[in-house]
Amino acid sequence: MQSQVYDYANAATPARTYTYSYLTSSVYTSRYMRNLLTSASVTDSKGQMTVLGGNTFDYGYNSTCASPAAPPLDRPGLPMHDLNYSTSVSCRGDATTVVNLNTSTSYNYDIGGVPYEMQNAYGTPTSLSVTSNTNYSLPEVLTPNSVAGLATTVSYPPFVHHLH
C-alpha cells in the first residue's frame, strides 16, 4: 500500500511517498489476522528512501507457521482463553521482532498473547510479570536484566481490572 503527500506549491510530484507492506500469508488471513504490518518506509521527492520500521511475527514463521522456535509460555487457568490454542499453536500474530528506525526489540509471549520478556537491540532482557489482578493481561512488575533492585511495579486504576 502507498500513500503520497504533496506540497501545496507542487501538485505534480509527491513530496513524500509512504510504502507499507502487510503479512498476507493464507495461514494468517484464514484465521482473520489482517493488518499485520511487516515494513514501512518513506521516499522523498529526490528518491531518497528511509526505512521507518518493520515487524516479524511468530518468530519468523510468517508463511508456514511451523513449530515455534520459542513456544508461547503456558499459563494454566487463564480466564477467557480458548483451550484449543495451546503452546503448540504457532500462528498467533504476535510481533516477536519490532524494528523502529534501525532499533530492534524482541518479544516472547504467553498463550494469552501477553509479552513476558523483551530484549532490546543490545541484548538486555526485561521480564514482565503479570498477575490475576488484571486477569493476566497487563504487566505488573518489569525487571530489567534480572536485577531485582531495578524492578518497577506498575499499578492500574480499579476499573482496568474489570476490562480484561
Cα angle 71, 74, 80 (rounded to 5 degrees) comes to 120
d(CA 124, CA 64): 30
Counting Cβ atoms within 10 Å, is residue 104 exposed (0-12), middle (13-18) or buried (19+)? middle
- Which element (helix H / strand E) includes 99? strand 95-100
Per-residue pLDDT reduced to its tens digit, 30-44: 889 999 999 999 999
Reported pTM: 0.81
Question: Other CB atoms closer than 10 Å to residue 23's CB: what's the count?
Answer: 20
**Secondary structure letter of residue 83 according to DSSP:** T
Q: If you count them, how many residues does the chain have?
A: 164
pLDDT of the chain along its 164 residues, tens only?
999 999 988 888 999 999 999 988 888 888 899 999 999 999 999 999 999 999 988 877 656 666 556 778 888 878 778 888 788 777 888 998 999 988 999 999 988 888 999 999 998 999 999 887 788 888 899 999 989 999 999 988 877 655 54
